[in-house]
Amino acid sequence: MAKRRKNRTHLKGKQAGKNAPGPSDAPKSFVLKHGQVGSSVTQLVRDMRKVMEPNTATRLRERSKNKLKDYITLAPALKVTHLLAFTLTPIAPSLRLVRLPAGPTFSFRIERYSLIKDVLNSIRRPRSMGTEYLSPPLLVLASFPPPSPNTPQLSLLVKGLQSLFPPLSPKTISLPSARRVVLVSYNEQTGTLNFRHYRITVRPYGVSRRVRKVIEATAGGKKTVLDLSNHQDVADFLLNKNVAGYESASSAASSAGEEESDNAISLPTDYVGRNNRKGDRRAVRLDEIGPRMELSLVKIVEGIPGKQGSVIYHQFVTKTKAEMEQQKAEHAAKEKLRKQRKEEQELNIKKKKMALQTGDEAAQDTDDDEGENDDQPDANDEDDWDDEEEISDIESEVEEGAEESSESETERPPRPPPKKRKP
């Protein structure tokens, strides 16, 4: 019987990078909780990790001893570009969005939020998720005003949100990879951001729901049998006969989505799902899967936590131009002092290394000199030696060796008698 041949299932090096989903330069993120938070905020962190998949640490485990500094120092080694830190304050939960490695840092207050399980419980027919999380979501920004000098924080916020997700290129995007949508809309009246998460679904266009069931039952490799036990004929099932009569054309059209013709497209390529082939006309629909959040921008600061600079925007504190200039001067002085101290530390380290190297070299030179002095004999001592002294020394050494041999012979114990062998 032939041996089973095992194929390699783990790719290494360049092959793993080529077959990895998504571009290699896609932004990566850490979604974590900071400090003591409740079970609801912990579940919200897990839901946000699902939103940010696949370019996030899904199974990241936080410890009470870990600080934001630990994640910031670890991020460059893992090529992490963003940090989303949730924490609980006495007023409300808050979210900090940090752009690594140089900032800026956005601070939000979470006014209201709903978890994934809450959103799915509110839906009449929730569907289970499949392979939607294998590709990153598409970012849609809505209702943001055009850039103006009165609202500079909004343009900076838009750039920060766009850098959180991979850039969208209509020419290079693969249609089957577009499975989810993240919608961030701005409310001018309240000045808050509404965060929503949707799944993209595609359905046949111009067909009622019951006809679609018949089409989906016969399409694909797996065929299902329709339940016609409560109907006398298949026409009753298709026309949806009820107490008031048959289903009207207007109701069938509304259920099929014909009234909203804006969401109908012709598929440019094959799409996921049954019978979604190139050129077919389909109706696109967004199903919300959660979570939901209503965010209020509180503050924008230059830099990252631990190395923060000047405050770019604050919702509750307004400063004059003189105060802002004074603040910039103070931060510039602090940065100058920090660089000066860093340079001094580097110089001190170099000096210590040079001192250690010179000390080792000096110690080696002294050891070599002492060894040379010991090896070289003294000339005066050679002149003082005589032949008689050398002969006497040799004779004394011979006598001492004879005495030692005689003593060893006397001290040696006698040998035991040989054992008798058995016949």
Q: What is the pLDDT of residues 135-155, one digit of tens each?
A: 999 999 999 999 888 888 999
The top-level CATH class assigned to 23-206+257-314 is alpha beta
pLDDT reading at 79 higher than 50: yes
Please give the residue that has the higher pLDDT: either 31 or 238. 31
Cα–Cα distance for residue pair 16/232, rounded to 1 Å: 58
Give the contacts of 307 (CB within 8 A, at least 6 positions apart).
103
Give the contacts of 221 (CB within 8 A, at least 6 positions apart).
none
pTM over 0.85: no
Specify the pLDDT at position 256: 46
pLDDT reading at 391 higher than 60: no
Residue 404's pLDDT band, with cuts at 50, 70 and 90, is low
Full DSSP string of 318-351: ---HHHHHHHHHHHHHHHHHHHHHHHHHHHHHHH
Segment 196-220 mean pLDDT: 76
> What percent of the chain is modeled with pLDDT above 90?
36
Buried b (16+ CB within 10 A) or exposed e, 6-18: eeeeeeeeeeeee
Residue 186's pLDDT band, with cuts at 50, 70 and 90, is very high
User: What's the mean pLDDT when you consider all of the chain?
Assistant: 79
Specify the pLDDT at position 39: 94
Give the contacts of 235 (CB within 8 A, at least 6 positions apart).
none
pLDDT single digits (tens) 410-419: 556 667 777 7
pLDDT reading at 166 higher than 60: yes
Please give the residue that has the higher pLDDT: either 399 or 347. 347
pLDDT reading at 288 higher than 50: yes
Specify the pLDDT at position 136: 94
Segment 98-102 mean pLDDT: 92
Please give the residue that has the higher pLDDT: either 160 or 408. 160
Specify the pLDDT at position 376: 54
Which residues make beta-bridge pairs with 110? 295
Cα–Cα distance for residue pair 111/300, rounded to 1 Å: 18
Please give the residue that has the higher pLDDT: either 45 or 361. 45
CA 81 to each of CA 28, 73, 103, 104: distance values in angstroms, whole numbers, following the listed order = 5, 12, 10, 12
Please give the residue that has the higher pLDDT: either 156 or 380. 156
Segment 278-306 mean pLDDT: 91
Where do runs of H (alpha helix) occur along 62-167? 68-74, 116-122, 152-162
Specify the pLDDT at position 84: 96
285: three-class secondary structure by DSSP: strand
pLDDT reading at 262 higher than 50: yes
Four-CA torsion 351, 356, 362, 365, nearest 10 degrees: -130
Specify the pLDDT at position 301: 93
Name the nearest CA neighbour of 158 among 145, 172, 168, 171.
Answer: 145
Specify the pLDDT at position 249: 45
Residue 238's pLDDT band, with cuts at 50, 70 and 90, is confident
